[in-house]
Amino acid sequence: MKKLLIILLTISVLSVFAQDGPTALKIGDKAPDFTAKDHVGNIVSLKELTKKGKVVVMFYRGAWCPYCNKYMSQIEEALPNFSAKNATVVAITPEPEESISKAVEKTKATFSIIYDKDRAIMKQWKVAYEMSPELQTKYKGYGLDLQKQQGDWMLPVPATYVIGKNGKIEFVHFDENYQKRAEIKDILMKL
């Protein structure tokens, strides 16, 4: 009986911790609205954007991430295809404005990029996670201290969503492996 109680307690504790991690929103969920200022000073409102057409919302880790830069460049290259389908692209990052400028310089991105200062958007969309102490040490060894750069060690899973005009999620790519991103052709098929 004592062993069973310990096992049940362990499962309960693990499930509580699992709920705090990134889980992603699902197809059919109502996308959490946000209104924020983008990197050029425009006010971006998901609710307003969906009135015009579908919206591609992507979360990226930062200009320091070569996978993020490559993906943002691919999105930028495909932007005419998104526009032809009357879709808007918005990127969300925990990076402060000066780092966003570096990302724009590297990727030539012309779409809106939002600094999620308090991580509220990342948390609402269930993509936020705190890097483990071991990973923090590893990144510091590479010369990257996110605590100094952005104020904490919180990052988003680099997820991509397509939001319909009704505000519901129609496409999700969520993979905790930051090297795997949504294929542009798959996003375009959902527009």
10-residue averages of pLDDT along the chain (191 residues): 35 38 90 96 96 97 95 97 97 94 94 95 95 92 92 94 98 94 96 94
| Helix orientation angle between 66-84 and 97-107, rounded to the nearest 10 degrees | 70
Separation of alpha carbons 16 and 95, rounded Å = 28
Summarised one tens digit per residue, pLDDT across range 83-95 is 999 999 999 999 9
Separation of alpha carbons 76 and 86, rounded Å = 15
Please give the pLDDT value at position 6. Answer: 33
Please give the pLDDT value at position 44. Answer: 97
Paired tokens of 103: 């990302």
Summarised one tens digit per residue, pLDDT across range 42-71 is 999 999 999 999 999 999 999 999 999 999
Please give the pLDDT value at position 98. Answer: 87
Strand-pair category, 128-130 with 88-93: unpaired
* Residue 14: how many other CB atoms lie within 10 Å: 10
- What Cα–Cα distance (Å) separates residue 56 from each residue in 3, 4, 63, 70? 49, 47, 20, 17
Separation of alpha carbons 181 and 157, rounded Å = 10
Separation of alpha carbons 46 and 40, rounded Å = 17
Please say whether the dihedral angle defined by the alpha carbons of residues 71, 77, 81 and 82, taken in this order, is positive or negative. positive
Which distant-in-sequence residues (6+ apart) come within 8 Å of 151 by Cβ? Answer: 96
Paired tokens of 19: 């709920």
Paired tokens of 135: 């990973």
